[in-house]
Structure 1
């Protein structure tokens, strides 16, 4: 048996609030919309990963999600334009990533990063 995919599920009563952050700011595609569930993603092939952590690195809290992007400056600019203020960073970390943390509309701590 092999794990084929891992899907993060975030509870909310306001499904539509996800669009402003996950689609408009991060540029994710709406892959499925059943009204009670909206799935955002990409058609790119990605590695299946699950991280278990005691901290988020550099003494930060463990983020709920980590989202790797191809252009961190653009992601930061989109967050700023949407009045989303980083809670940490942007900062280049000694383990080879540049990142910042923001909260999504549901209060989840999101680690947005790019590998250096």
Structure 2
């Protein structure tokens, strides 16, 4: 039985995660061994992994999807911090409000609220 799934993103500079994942998204630093940093929180969530031929509405498939409480607030913080928005904030037909943003490692992140 799978207990959790962890995303691992290769980087030469661990500190690049601090503003995007810690300051804006509010994830806590859970582990730092010098060669790997893990951010997270105490929320309980379902274990999920998705496979897609497109990202919905003919967008590219994002590397990660992160659900947040206040998508509009996170959108404004990402823009103000200069992160590239690759798909503007949109209310989708399937009941989510979302946007895509490029993280400091070049990954496309789908930020959404239901």
2:33 is aligned to 34
1:8 is aligned to 7
Aligned residue-pair number: 114
* Distance in 1 between residues matched to 2:41 and 2:83, nearest whole Å: 22
- TM-score, normalization by structure 1: 0.95
Give 3-state SS (helix, strand or coil) of 1:45's partner. coil
Runs of 4+ in 1 over 4 A off after TM superposition: none
1:83 is aligned to 82
Compute the RMSD of aligned alpha carbons: 0.8
1:112 is aligned to 111
1:46 is aligned to 45
* CA shift for structure 1 position 20: 1.3
Residue ranges of structure 1 left out of the alignment (5+ in a row): none
* CA shift for structure 1 position 97: 0.6
- TM-score, normalization by structure 2: 0.97
* CA shift for structure 1 position 74: 1.0
Residue ranges of structure 2 left out of the alignment (5+ in a row): none
